[in-house]
Amino acid sequence: MGRPRVLLDLDPVLQGELFDRSRIERLRSIAELASATDTRHPDDRFDYDVVVTGWGSQPFPNTRPAASPLALVAHSAGTIRRIVPRDLMAEGVRVTQAASGMAVSVSELALTFTISLLRNLQLVDRSMVRRDWDAALSHPLGQTIAGARIGVIGASRVGRAYIEHVVGMGAEVVVSDPYLPLAEANEMGVELVGLDHLFATSRVVALHAPVTSETVGMVSRERLASIPDGGIIINTARAAIVDMPALVDELRSGRLSAALDVFDAEPLPSDSALWDLPNVILTPHIGAVTVHSRAMQGDVVVDEIERFLNGSALVFEVTPDNYDRLA
């Protein structure tokens, strides 16, 4: 048998960000390496033993050709549900993903959002941009993370990294996640609570849950209304878990503030009400867009391919059991 064949099914710019010379050489030392420019049709990917996918990769069909050697899809980003259908996994194609490489960067953005809104920095900055020193000094007193009650929805990899940040800074943290064991919550220094209690008692609500049938719309109009006046919503996860019209209504009223990195439609439409709200921080889905994150994602992919080709267990494998829960 010849050497295994690995295809980097990636945009050239993204490929360069993920795989520097050392990572490319590691792959070449264990396999024949090809890039997306070597294929003419998405189905050509079935000619390879391992395919590395990422943002912009085309979805795989539900079935694998009988003669295809494809055995592993190594996704360089997070959710694989758009890329790899369950049926393909049922035919023996294994899947791994590099969400762990993005966790630190996304959690740091969520932390930045939290500090900024607690300190009213978006309001102060806009006053300073207008060269209005007195207005910048007139905004309400800010608050610290130390002593703040922060509710975290979803103890995902990002959620756990965020929890570590804010617990370390002295926050009182409550978490709602049906998959988080009580013993682990105790080790993390957080309290497990129900969703309704979390919303009704938290100063900051940070969203770190995936999109599933259970989480779509979970941040409902009723739960938003239960957040105490002056509350903050942080969303670096997925827009679909929030009732966005309800959130916009709360933001327009001035009762809540929010920092959002994800939206129902991306790019954010030019007529969105969010653009003009003073109590909102907006970023264009850049939670994982850092040099560190790209390097970590590349390392995860190369490490997983090495494990797979060596016959070792995958560390970040997506299975039918966790397929719907991995963001």
Identify whether 238 is a catalytic site residue: yes
Gap between the Cα atoms of 327 and 211, Å rounded:
7
Gap between the Cα atoms of 73 and 89, Å rounded:
10
Place of tokens 């997983």: 304
Catalytic residue among 91, 214, 266, 292: 266
What six digits make up the tokens of 92?
Answer: 């023996």
| DSSP secondary structure of 3-32 | --EEEE-S-HHHHHHH--HHHHHHHHTTSE
Identify whether 23 is a catalytic site residue: no
Catalytic residue among 285, 306, 307, 325: 285
Q: Characterize 260-299 residue by residue with b for buried, 16 or more Cβ atoms within 10 angstroms of its Cβ, and e for exposed.
A: bbbbeeeebeeebebeebebbbeeeeebbbbeebbbbbbb
Strand partners, 6: 33, 50
Catalytic residue among 157, 203, 238, 294: 238
Contact 83, 53 (CB under 8 A): yes
Cα–chain-centroid distance for residue 258? 17
CA Rg value for the chain: 22
User: What size, in residues, is the chain?
Assistant: 327
Identify whether 139 is a catalytic site residue: no
Catalytic machinery residues: 238, 266, 285
